Structure 1
Amino acid sequence: MRRSGKGTGVPELEPEVFDRVVVPVAMTAGPDHVLVYHNEAFRDLFGPRRLGLPAREVFDEPAAAGFLAMLDDVFGDRTARQVTSPRTTEGTAPGAPGPRHFVYSCSPVVTRHGPGVLAVAIDTTVQVTAVRHAEELSEQRHQALQRYEALMSAVNQIVWVMQPTGEIQELVGGFQDFTGIPWRPVIDQEWLAQVHPYDRNRLVHTWREAAADPPSMFVCTFRMRTATGTYRHVQSRAVPIMHGGEAAEWIGTTADVEDQWRNRLRERLLARVATVTAADDVPQAFAAVTAAVVPELADVCAVFLLPPQGLPPGPEDTLMATRIAATARDGLPELPPLSHEPRPVGHIAREVVESRRPRLLTFPAGQPPPGVLPELSTKWLRETDATSITLVPIVIEASVVAFAAAAACNNSPAPGPADLQLLGEVLNEVRDPLRQAIELQRTRQTALTLQRALLTPTPRVPGAQLSAHYQPASRTAEIGGDWYDSLVLPDGSVTLTIGDIAGHDLDAATSMSQLRSMLRVIAYDESGPDAPARSLTRLDRVVEGLDIAPLVTAVHTCLQPDGDRWHAAWSNAGHPPPLLLPAAGPPRFLEGEGPDLPLCVAPELTRRTWRHELRAGDTLLLYTDGLIEVPGTDLSEGMTALAAQAVRARKEGAPLAALCAQLLAAAADRRDDAAVIGFRPTAPPGRKPR
């Protein structure tokens, strides 16, 4: 820098400052655009050009007409311009290296030669070549475009020079227009106060790393407060000018990159939101939503699920909501645990739900207004010095099913309009997968309600314990196929049945109800030593004829009292074998010669009946594969584990009902639903069969 240009008030730019800059630079002076300077990089790109001549004589090739016109425009109105679509040198000038591609910009400057124009070019030959060879050089093209965007941003905004002492001078202005405060000659606390609180330490740390010995290129993207009070992302880039092995000064640029940063953020957030489609249930789906927006758009985000009936009828009635998911950024206190209990929310949240419009609330740090969120959440916001709450309704198929609450904490500034818009876009993007998760939950609940309504309590049997339990799967869709039944026949005998229908949905639950009812009728009408096989044969023909289910496995057992023992007869249609726990001795599976085919495969099949005698204290267990099936393992391993678990429960002296409950508890995290029904003689039945 030297004295101000005569009558302009603008510091003179010393052309030699660009001698070692890697981008081509040239300068002209006066209305005739006399070429007064070009650096080595410029000569490498365009060939030698004579200094001291008007630009129209120096750049006499036809392709330079646009460049000459831009020189006239920039010199005339003193407004910078740039060409972002690549131009091509023809290589006709003496010493020119041949056809090359470039983009350039022209900015008004004042040098010791008087007012003129600064021309900065960027060699984009690599990028253009990469585009033409995209199929084989796709990765190189991506890198070239990144370099192109970075370089273009470097010449499009503020240009500055920093001395080793920390003094900084603005070469190409714009700081005051952007921030609303005058240019600062040093990076002081007032300057750093314009940087977002979350970015200050990182900015200082990145600069110190670049300035360390040996110095390296400085690149940092951070948020600065604009003249309007909102924050925008800028990127500063600087390179050291070395003399004698030390950095004599730094030349840098600062450019507004908000649009590029926000586009990349949108892509990242939408990619995260894609994980919602893999969610198995509603809480997991909403948890994926909150994790997607923290920490980029909020310090904490929670989703409050509304009751199925929605808003209460009267405006004075309290709106209840359940905090179903929440995520906070690292460094904040641990969130209150999810209680899954509905809690009252305030009138502001109700207004958001009723209007279906988002709302931003700002307040002094640590002073969230009462009556917005449940008290437990409000207390946490007070402890974290929250400064704002954003409430966004989540609308699915014309109904508000939940609302999201995002907050800024630790004295963080409130989100700007662009942040609120992007938050709304992200929540809107997840409507379809959330709708699917909610529909799955409703279907599961319907199937579960139907199944539990049909799986009635077991009857009381004199001289024996009889107990049955059912447990839905831990995964949303896995519900509806397993069933059990028990029936006391007129002759005093007892039937036990366990079965599994292919499918895990509402259709499977409906088919189960039909099969169970039909088998009860058939079993009531069958008698004799071969009744189990005949009952399953008749059921097979009916199911096949009415096309009720695609595939069914079942074990049907008839237990007949006889003095001090019970005669057990059963037929197995492709189901895991019954487990016998003798009163004394090791457990064993009653497999016979193996099961017959499942139902709905070969209705004409002749089925077999197997027999065994039970004495007081023996336990017979029928179960579904949800108790023994573990992905990645063989069924025999699951059967061995089931027998061992049953033996441990028996040693503890557990009643039959407790034993069945323990077996189901051991399978709590399985992917399939599970059922078990057990029979244990306790004393002689008391009468002979008729």
Structure 2
Amino acid sequence: MAGEAAAESPRTRARRALYRVRRTLRRSAVDYFRGDGSDWIAFAALLLLVPLLTLCTVASPMWCPPSALVVPVLLGGLLLRPSSLVLLYAGATAALVVDSAYLGPWQDEAVRNDRPEMGPGSILVVGAVACAGLLLAQFRSRVGVPWRRGGTMLFDLRERLRVQSKIPALPPGWHAEMALRPAGGQSFSGDFVVASRTSGGRVLEAVLTDVSGKGMDAGSRALMLSGAFGGLLGSLPPHEFLPAANGHLLRQEWQEGFATSVHLVLDLDTGEYELLSAGHLPGMHLVSGAGRWEEKAAEGPLLGVYEGAKFEGVRGTLRSGDVLMLFTDGLVEAPDRDLTEGMDRLVGEAERFITRGFKGAAWRLIEAVAKDVNDDRALLLICRD
């Protein structure tokens, strides 16, 4: 085989290379036109817009300058694939050549006033926009999401995360509020809540999780985990949930694959509850009869650190007027204060807001406690009348 390859003439090798190029182009064209039809329609429309703008420039350069070519170039970067974009740029380059020939430097002052010069500024503007459009097209091609559908997909993902974080309706005598505020005002957060009523609706199970990272960096992992945790919740006995979640996180093998989580199991008939924690902050229980807050700290390691982790729960009972508060570290941790100080501040503000009325207390509490903290914040309040 090596001797035959070496014996091939340069003409034969050139024919083989030309054949491979033609086959690649043919397959690309077939794949392109097998799409939904909007790609090649957009390409044809933008390609026709280039000579139209060129004619307008020739007819009235004062109203349609050569830099108007940035319109199809920019739209092409948003709508077209890189291969089609290169063809569009070739047409735009030809249009610039025509404009330059027509609007080239004129020596006659009267003619110059009627026909502005084709200066290098217009070419640089069109070239810069073309480079930016090509970068956008290559990014979209790598991600595999069309520009006109990418925003819809992100909106759908955000709504799914919001719906999964809803607390189910509770029977009379119980109230629950959940507030979630991503870092930096973004739409995605590394904190999430999944909740469900199990045992025929008698038991409320809620899981508050804080994924490593914050904002958009942790949002994709939080979305995946919220779906997995929502499927596990209620499908397993309460004491098997955190071990199963830990195993799921270990199987992902993420570089930043750890998370903290607290699992609440609340009997809506008796008010008895159990908190199981995976490296999460303790919950706070307001005992209305005594007028004090009790710290409910369960023991357990972070999720996704090692196999065979054990999680020990802590029990309590919510009586009339009691409040249970679960939260993530974004509400109490800050570089300039320790954890104890942050929890004392949270408890103090909670007493002030809850006495005004339970409705809307979660959102007001988040804003009052951590308005200057650039971290994801989540808060779950459960109250019994």
In the alignment, does 2:317 pair up with 1:607? no
In the alignment, does 2:329 pair up with 1:646? no
Q: Tell me what 2:119 maps to.
A: 417
Mapping of 1:41-120 within 5 angstroms?
A: none
Q: Tell me what 1:681 maps to.
A: 384
Q: Tell me what 2:178 maps to.
A: 468
Equivalent position to 1:540, from 246, 259, 264: 246
Q: Distance in 2 between matches of 1:445 and 1:474?
A: 18
1:615 is paired with a residue whose SS is: coil
What's the CA shift for 1:462? 3.1
Q: Distance in 2 between matches of 1:675 and 1:509?
A: 15
Q: Tell me what 2:297 maps to.
A: 591
What's the CA shift for 1:555? 0.4
Equivalent position to 2:203, from 481, 484, 493: 493
Query: Does the Cα contact within 8 Å between 1:466 and 1:678 map onto a contact in 2?
Result: yes
Equivalent position to 2:257, from 550, 564, 589: 550
1:395 is paired with a residue whose SS is: helix
Q: Tell me what 2:272 maps to.
A: 567
Q: Distance in 1 between matches of 2:346 and 2:134?
A: 41
Query: Does the Cα contact within 8 Å between 2:284 and 2:324 map onto a contact in 1?
Result: yes
What's the CA shift for 1:608? 0.9
What's the CA shift for 1:417? 2.6
The runs of 5 or more residues in structure 2 that have no matched partner are 1-37, 81-115
Query: Does the Cα contact within 8 Å between 1:534 and 1:607 map onto a contact in 2?
Result: no
Cα 1:362–1:397 shift into 2, 3 Å: closer
2:318 is paired with a residue whose SS is: strand
In the alignment, does 2:191 pair up with 1:482? yes
Q: Deviations over 1:582-634 (max 9, x none)?
A: 43635454335xx4211222332332111222222222122233434556655
Cα 1:554–1:648 shift into 2, 3 Å: same
Cα 1:643–1:430 shift into 2, 3 Å: farther
Q: Distance in 2 between matches of 1:650 and 1:425?
A: 60
Q: Deviations over 1:657-677 (max 9, x none)?
A: x01222344556754443332
- Report the AA paired with residue 276 of structure 2: S
Query: Does the Cα contact within 8 Å between 1:553 and 1:575 map onto a contact in 2?
Result: yes
Equivalent residue pairs, number: 290
Cα 1:574–1:449 shift into 2, 3 Å: same
If the length of structure 2 is used for normalisation, what is the TM-score? 0.59
Query: Does the Cα contact within 8 Å between 2:353 and 2:364 map onto a contact in 1?
Result: yes
Cα 1:434–1:515 shift into 2, 3 Å: same
- Report the AA paired with residue 232 of structure 2: M
Equivalent position to 1:512, from 219, 226, 230: 226
Q: Distance in 2 between matches of 1:671 and 1:605?
A: 31
Q: Distance in 2 between matches of 1:553 and 1:433?
A: 38
1:610 is paired with a residue whose SS is: strand
- Report the AA paired with residue 488 of structure 1: R
Cα 1:644–1:420 shift into 2, 3 Å: farther
Query: Does the Cα contact within 8 Å between 2:67 and 2:123 map onto a contact in 1?
Result: no
The runs of 5 or more residues in structure 1 that have no matched partner are 1-308, 314-349, 364-368, 373-387, 402-413, 683-690
Q: Tell me what 1:623 maps to.
A: 327
- Report the AA paired with residue 272 of structure 2: H
Query: Does the Cα contact within 8 Å between 1:483 and 1:512 map onto a contact in 2?
Result: yes
Q: Taking CA–CA contacts closer than 8 Å with sequence separation of 6 or more, which of the two structures ends up with the larger relative contact order?
A: 2
Cα 1:395–1:612 shift into 2, 3 Å: same
Q: Distance in 1 between matches of 2:295 and 2:66?
A: 61
Q: Distance in 1 between matches of 2:48 and 2:353?
A: 51
Q: Deviations over 1:630-663 (max 9, x none)?
A: 56655545434433432332232242xx012223
Q: Deviations over 1:67-99 (max 9, x none)?
A: xxxxxxxxxxxxxxxxxxxxxxxxxxxxxxxxx
Q: Distance in 1 between matches of 2:118 and 2:224?
A: 52
* Root-mean-square deviation (Å): 4.5
Q: Distance in 1 between matches of 2:74 and 2:336?
A: 40
Q: Distance in 2 between matches of 1:352 and 1:626?
A: 51
Q: Distance in 1 between matches of 2:366 and 2:199?
A: 32
Q: Distance in 1 between matches of 2:244 and 2:308?
A: 10
What's the CA shift for 1:681? 0.4
Q: Distance in 2 between matches of 1:433 and 1:547?
A: 31
What's the CA shift for 1:465? 0.6
- Report the AA paired with residue 517 of structure 1: G
Cα 1:465–1:423 shift into 2, 3 Å: same
Task: Name the structure with the higher helix share.
Answer: 2
Q: Distance in 1 between matches of 2:138 and 2:294?
A: 44
Cα 1:354–1:570 shift into 2, 3 Å: farther
Query: Does the Cα contact within 8 Å between 2:196 and 2:234 map onto a contact in 1?
Result: yes
What's the CA shift for 1:480? 5.0
Query: Does the Cα contact within 8 Å between 2:78 and 2:137 map onto a contact in 1?
Result: no
Cα 1:540–1:429 shift into 2, 3 Å: same
Q: Distance in 2 between matches of 1:463 and 1:415?
A: 79
Query: Does the Cα contact within 8 Å between 2:66 and 2:118 map onto a contact in 1?
Result: no
Q: Tell me what 1:395 maps to.
A: 74
- Report the AA paired with residue 125 of structure 2: L
Equivalent position to 1:458, from 165, 168, 172: 168
Cα 1:470–1:660 shift into 2, 3 Å: same
Q: Deviations over 1:240-295 (max 9, x none)?
A: xxxxxxxxxxxxxxxxxxxxxxxxxxxxxxxxxxxxxxxxxxxxxxxxxxxxxxxx
Q: Tell me what 1:204 maps to.
A: none
Mapping of 1:130-209 within 5 angstroms?
A: none
Q: Deviations over 1:38-91 (max 9, x none)?
A: xxxxxxxxxxxxxxxxxxxxxxxxxxxxxxxxxxxxxxxxxxxxxxxxxxxxxx
Query: Does the Cα contact within 8 Å between 1:473 and 1:668 map onto a contact in 2?
Result: no
1:474 is paired with a residue whose SS is: helix
Cα 1:415–1:600 shift into 2, 3 Å: farther
1:557 is paired with a residue whose SS is: strand
Please say which structure displays the higher CA radius of gyration: 1
Query: Does the Cα contact within 8 Å between 2:260 and 2:278 map onto a contact in 1?
Result: yes
